[in-house]
Amino acid sequence: MNYRNSNLIYIATGFISLLLTSCGKSFLDTKPSTQFTEVDVWSDPNLIQLNMNSIYNQNPWSFFMTSLAVDEARCYDGGNDYNMSNMLMSPDNAGWGDWNGRYSAIRDCNIFLENIDKLPDDPALIDGVTLKDRLKGEATFFRAWYYQLLISYFGGVPLVTKSYKLTDDFSAARNSYAECVQFISGECDKAAALLPLVNTGANKGRVTKGAALALKSRVLLYAASDLHNTTFSGFSNPELLGYVDGDRKQRWQAAKAAAKAVIDLGIYGLYQPGPASTEEAVQNYENLFISKNSIEDIFIRYYNASVNQGADYWQVFPNGYGGIETNGAPSELVDAYEMSDGTKFSRTNPAQNLEPYKNRDPRFYASILYEGATFRSRPSNLLTADPVGVLQVGTWEKWDATANKIVYTYGLDSRNSVVYGGGYNNTGTCMLKFINRKTDMYVNHQDDLTWRFIRYSEIILNYAEACIGLGEEAEARTYINMIRKKAAMPDVMDAGAALSARYRNERRIELVYENHRFFDVRRWMIGPEAYHPMHGVNVVYKLNPDHTTATIPTVTPVQITSGKWDNKAYFLPIARSEMNKNDKLVQNPGYN
């Protein structure tokens, strides 16, 4: 393991302005930022809170956290995404999981928890808790959060609960998966007891009791899933990957109870749960992800353009708008959206195949841009070519009577675009979810964004999945249908294996691009369903026999990337550099 060796000094020039406004000292009385000692840091509430902010800032996010590494998105680029999709990961190119980065954050949490009691007690309550308790709760939560990220990629990892010094022995064996789950669950309970139920004012966006309990829900649901209740034959340390004893039914019951604990707080709800129409359901789903606050928010992070930390939409805008549209939806994802009447979409159905984007689940229209979908106005120099602002990935066949031949016109968002040819996306679609249509992409750090790490819909789905695991199918259907109702989709009535499959697709659609699918594929052990050659679409407005051009395009799936599955990918490799530094580590199966 590679733990950061530097001591706690992380004090930036921002300390000066904070101290000037909050401590009442004159500028000349302010100690230079390079001279703060550990005594200064741990005795000053303002410096401690800035220290905590650095722990928040290490929490990763992006528009494509893991989507490009599973069947949610494809990009023309290769690198780690290509390696993952083609099972080329090894200890020498371990580009996922960020073992080192997560342990660095954990070390910061450990240091914080070792020193927070040096802060003088102040009985004043803010949102019902003292400052010291809130800070303890935050550090405890984040230590659990970062360990949750590690075990989701690697299985059992070394549980380090103290900060190491340069003279310490850094080597540590991996704890069993069961021990890690028990530790994280316990930390969530400790954090929940310290954190406020709701934060107000300047503390909005900080973690709460609900966030701690929701993290526990996620961890216990994963623990009850197939992956961690299966023995990997031939691996000498199965306890690192899952449970080797105990009662799985109890694990499902624990997962159900953890989700119910969040529900029973009574402060969260589904966003706009009763739309009057499919059109309203589309708008509601889109609005949820561009709103600053919502009733679904459990663990969120505000990103503000005013301090140069807004969302960079260049990464996801269509190339005809100047972006690189990294998160394109492959046909496999598009086809997973049901028809609006709740039946499966099928390309063998002639009517559906003719107009594949028609009459689909309302969430499709709020999540994905496709040929002909209205987006937003083009830049002024392109208004003549596209006065409406619709996605154009197609090719138009037109008859040139003078030359007596077919000529081709290419869409502004196609890979032959006159705006930005090539680009990165070859799926024929673009991600719409999270994008505010009013955003001007050409403004740096263009827009405020609320990123939702955990929202209430996940908890409802967690509860439903635990019910399925327990055989409580009627209860499961009730909760699945809560999610479907807010999407204006008909209730599910399935049972048995069909209900489980329906639930899994519902979770895939509701939580698309929210960093769930990668882990769901693994914990459900459905790798072969998700890793295989992937498809985009070729969109052509064909020339009719009378030499007019068709107004309805022919949309044909075409393979765009290779892919295959290997069971080793249920867990990721620990980097060889980490293995070399710690001779007590055991590598995951398939990576020796």
Q: What is the pLDDT of residue 165?
A: 79
Asked if residue 64 lies in contact with residue 21, where contact means CB atoms within 8 angstroms, the answer is: no
Match 């893991």 to its residue by tokens.
66
Distance set, CA 226 to CA 253, 525, 526 (Å): 15, 7, 10
Minimal CA–CA distance to 552: which of 409, 429, 336, 394?
394
Strands (E), 401-533: 405-410, 430-431, 449-455
Q: Torsion angle, CA of 35/36/37/42, rounded to 10 degrees?
A: 180
**Mean pLDDT, each 10-residue run in order, the chain (592 residues):** 36 36 40 60 92 94 91 80 92 90 96 96 97 98 98 98 84 97 98 98 96 98 98 93 97 98 98 98 98 97 81 87 89 98 97 97 98 94 94 97 97 92 85 90 72 98 98 98 98 98 98 98 98 97 98 96 96 96 96 89
What residues does 543 pair with on adjacent strands? Answer: 549
Which sign, positive or negative, has the C-alpha torsion 424, 428, 433, 434?
A: positive
Q: What is the pLDDT of residue 312?
A: 82
Minimal CA–CA distance to 414: which of 446, 383, 436, 385?
385
Q: What is the pLDDT of residue 115?
A: 96
> In the Cβ-directed half-sphere of 450, how many Cα atoms lie within 13 Å?
20
Which sign, positive or negative, has the C-alpha torsion 115, 119, 121, 127?
A: negative
Which sign, positive or negative, has the C-alpha torsion 152, 157, 160, 164?
A: negative
Take residue 422 and report the two structure tokens written for it.
Answer: 């090539």
Residue 440: how many other CB atoms lie within 10 Å: 11
Match 């309550």 to its residue by tokens.
125
Q: Which residues touch 263 (CB under 8 Å, ≥6 apart)?
A: 459, 460, 463
Distance set, CA 41 to CA 34, 126, 203, 329, 421 (Å): 12, 21, 20, 47, 52
d(CA 334, CA 25): 59
Q: What is the pLDDT of residue 21?
A: 37
d(CA 311, CA 319): 17
Residue-wise DSSP of 495-507: -HHHHHHHHHHHH
Which amino acid is it at 70? V
d(CA 73, CA 160): 35
Judged by phi (left if over 0) then psi (alpha if -120 to 50, else beta), residue 25 lies in beta
Q: Which residues touch 6 (CB under 8 Å, ≥6 apart)?
A: none
d(CA 545, CA 222): 57
**pTM of the complete model:** 0.92
Which sign, positive or negative, has the C-alpha torsion 360, 365, 367, 371?
A: positive
Q: What is the pLDDT of residue 254?
A: 98
DSSP H helices in 226-314 = 248-263, 278-290
Take residue 241 and report the two structure tokens written for it.
Answer: 């990957």
Q: For the packed helices 131-154 and 209-224, what is the interaxial angle rounded to 10 degrees?
A: 20
Query: For 232-255, b where at least 16 C-beta lie within 10 A, e where not — what string?
Result: beeeebbbbbbbeeeeeeebbbbb
Q: What is the pLDDT of residue 7?
A: 34
- The residues spanned by each domain of the chain are 1-60+98-267
CATH of domain 1-60+98-267: 1.25.40.390
Match 């392109």 to its residue by tokens.
382
Minimal CA–CA distance to 450: which of 365, 493, 514, 522?
514
Minimal CA–CA distance to 253: which of 574, 8, 467, 106?
467
Q: What is the pLDDT of residue 16?
A: 32
What residues does 537 pair with on adjacent strands? Answer: 557
Residue count of the chain: 592
Take residue 524 and report the two structure tokens written for it.
Answer: 């459900």
Q: For the packed helices 99-115 and 131-154, what is the interaxial angle rounded to 10 degrees?
A: 160
Q: Using the 8-state DSSP alphabet, how is residue 61 labeled?
A: -
Judged by phi (left if over 0) then psi (alpha if -120 to 50, else beta), residue 165 lies in beta
Q: What is the pLDDT of residue 12?
A: 38
